[in-house]
């Protein structure tokens, strides 16, 4: 069974979200939690829905808005979520290696489609290194 990715966007990230879904569908099971048009909507509600699905599961999440910042702030309010706003491939790799990021946040208005898809691929394919980083992630999650 393919790994499951939970994805969501607001109206500012709607087009990029759909490009990401098309890009991932052949290798992943993708669950789209909205929005479903470019009509204005509230990003905190989408971030909440995706975060709740990711918490306690083996799934990773992707959130897209105009800048990625609002989604990142909203998602990180939930215990167990480590959402990372990435605008480059190095950050995408490092946030998985060292922080075990479980939600990737992107901005349609600041990151082009080609770069965004590269960021997604690197983020999804990079494993968590564990070891010394596990202790720090446990601190972030309030376990230590």
> Can 98 be counted among the known catalytic residues?
yes
> Can 65 be counted among the known catalytic residues?
yes
Q: 3-state SS of the chain?
A: CCCEEEEEECHHHHHHHHHHHHHHCCCCEEEECCCCCCCCCCHHHHHHHHHHHHCCCCCEEEEEECCCHHHHHHHCCCCCCCEEECCCHHHHHHHHHCCCCCEEEEECCCCCHHHHHHHHHHHHHCCCCCCHHHHHHHHHCCCC
| Active-site entry in 35, 59, 65, 105 | 65
- Which residues are tagged catalytic? 65, 98
């Amino acid at each position: 069974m393919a790994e499951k990715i939970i994805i969501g966007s607001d109206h500012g990230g709607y087009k990029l979200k759909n490009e990401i879904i098309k890009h991932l569908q052949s290798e992943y099971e993708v669950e789209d939690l909205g929005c479903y048009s470019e009509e204005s909507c509230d990003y905190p509600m989408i971030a909440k829905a995706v975060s709740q699905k990711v918490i306690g599961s083996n799934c990773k999440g992707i959130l897209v808005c105009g800048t990625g910042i609002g989604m990142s702030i909203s998602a990180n309010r939930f215990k167990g979520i480590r959402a990372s706003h990435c605008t480059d491939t190095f950050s995408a790799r490092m946030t998985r290696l060292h922080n075990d990021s479980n939600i990737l946040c992107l901005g349609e208005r600041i990151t082009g489609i080609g770069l965004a898809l590269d960021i997604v691929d690197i983020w999804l394919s990079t494993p968590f290194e564990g070891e010394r980083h596990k202790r720090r992630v446990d601190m972030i999650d309030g376990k230590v």
